Amino acid sequence: MSRFLNGYELILASNSPRRAEILNLAKVPFQIKTPDYREEVLNSEKPEILVQKNSLKKAESISAEIQSGIILGADTVVVLEQEILGKPKDEEEAFLMLKKLNGKWHQVYTGVALLNKNNSRQITGYEVTKVKFNSLTESQIQEYIATGDPLDKAGAYGIQESAAGGLVEKIEGNFDNVMGLPLHTVKKLLSQI
Query: Mind telling me the catalytic residues?
Result: 75
Smallest Cα–Cα separation from 85: which of 104, 60, 112?
104
Please, which residues have CB within 8 angstroms of residue 29's CB and are 6 or more apart in sequence?
2, 9, 10
The C-alpha atoms of residue 53 and residue 112 are separated, in whole angstroms, by 9
Residue 128 corresponds to which amino acid? V
**Three-state secondary structure readout of 54-115:** HHHHHHHHHHCCCCCCEEEEEEEEEEECCEEECCCCCHHHHHHHHHHHCCCEEEEEEEEEEE
| Beta-strand relationship, 70-80 and 105-116 | antiparallel
